[in-house]
Amino acid sequence: MRALLVLLSAVFILGGCSKEVKLVSANTAQEPIRVEEQATVEMRLSEMDLAKYVDADTGIWTEARNAGLIKVFNKILNKDIIIVPVAGMTPLGSMDGEFTQSGVLNTQGDPETGDLVQSFLVSASFVGDLSLGGQIIALEEDRYISGMHDVLYAMLYQAVPESLPSYVAIAEPVAELGTSFFRLIGMAEIKQLMQDTVALPKEQGGATGTLCNLEIVVSDREVEAGDRIFLMNVDVAALDPTAVIAQDEPETVVVLPPTSDTVREPSEQK
């Protein structure tokens, strides 16, 4: 009898040491997670900042988009979001990587510097549905990991943006929790959509999709092949100067000229 109890105890202990955490719920029709975030930025741009653009308005919108998205993306990353992706639970077309600009520019001139000043509200959202996403399939130059501003290749399973720019959220598998869990680690811009359809080997799941290349905008971990991506809807809205955004004070962004790489030695030793 004692030997039987010892054997049963060993079975229970081994069962409790399973490396993979299973989902408790057996409901396969669960709603996908939806992530939304927004931020305000106040842009201060000089004539030199805008000289590289075709016209001033294009430069203002572009600089606002770049600065605002970095702030929004970092706010999302700071939430340490864990995703359990689903597939086919969200209607196609509802979250397909759309980028929009709204509002009317009404820049104010700074009397001291002459800079053009304009505030924007930047919003981004996505859902954890793989039918509105895809996965990283390869890194540029045959590397194993990538970081900020690196280029990588991905496939989109079903939904494809109608136009560019378009953005994706990136999530990596959480090995300590199991194969169903992914951690949000970064965001990237889709730089090119290709006409080619690619297919993974059968041993890697055999998925097919539309090939695209991405440039990482922000990331707090290394991006690897096999990480999942989710299309994001992004809106950049120009705000009226009299508008008051109570929930988020504007962050002033000043575009600085490129700095010199020359290192100046101290004139005297301390």
- Position 51 in a domain: yes
Mean pLDDT of 163-182: 93
pLDDT at 186 over 60: yes
Distance (Å, rounded) from C-alpha 122 to C-alpha 167?
13
Q: How many domains does the chain have?
A: 1
- Position 219 in a domain: yes
Distance of alpha carbon 109 from the chain centroid: 33
Q: What is the pairing mode between strands 208-219 and 133-139?
A: unpaired
201 or 259, which is more confident: 201
17: tokens are 């040491």
pLDDT of residue 265: 40
Q: Which domain holds residue 169?
A: 31-254
User: How many CB atoms within 10 Å of residue 130?
Assistant: 22
- Position 172 in a domain: yes
Mean pLDDT of 129-133: 93
Q: Residue 17: is it exposed, middle or buried by C-beta count within 10 angstroms (0-12/13-18/19+)?
A: exposed
Q: On the CB side of 209, how many CA atoms lie within 13 Å of its CA?
A: 27
Distance of alpha carbon 264 from the chain centroid: 38
Calculate the average pLDDT of the chain: 81
- Position 215 in a domain: yes
- Position 17 in a domain: no
From residue 14, alpha-carbon distances to 21, 112, 175, 189, 261 in Å are 14, 72, 19, 45, 58
Distance (Å, rounded) from C-alpha 9 to C-alpha 3?
10
- Position 14 in a domain: no
Distance of alpha carbon 108 from the chain centroid: 31
Helices (H), the chain: 2-16, 47-50, 56-77
| Amino acid identity at 5 | L
Distance (Å, rounded) from C-alpha 255 to C-alpha 167?
23
In this prediction, residue 37 has a pLDDT band, given cuts at 50, 70 and 90, of very high
- Position 12 in a domain: no
Measure the CA dihedral 184/190/195/198, to 10°.
-30
Q: Where is average pLDDT lowest: 59-73, 103-117, 255-269?
A: 255-269
pLDDT of residue 66: 96
157: tokens are 């399973």
- Position 6 in a domain: no
Coil, strand or helix at 117? strand
Mean pLDDT of 24-40: 74
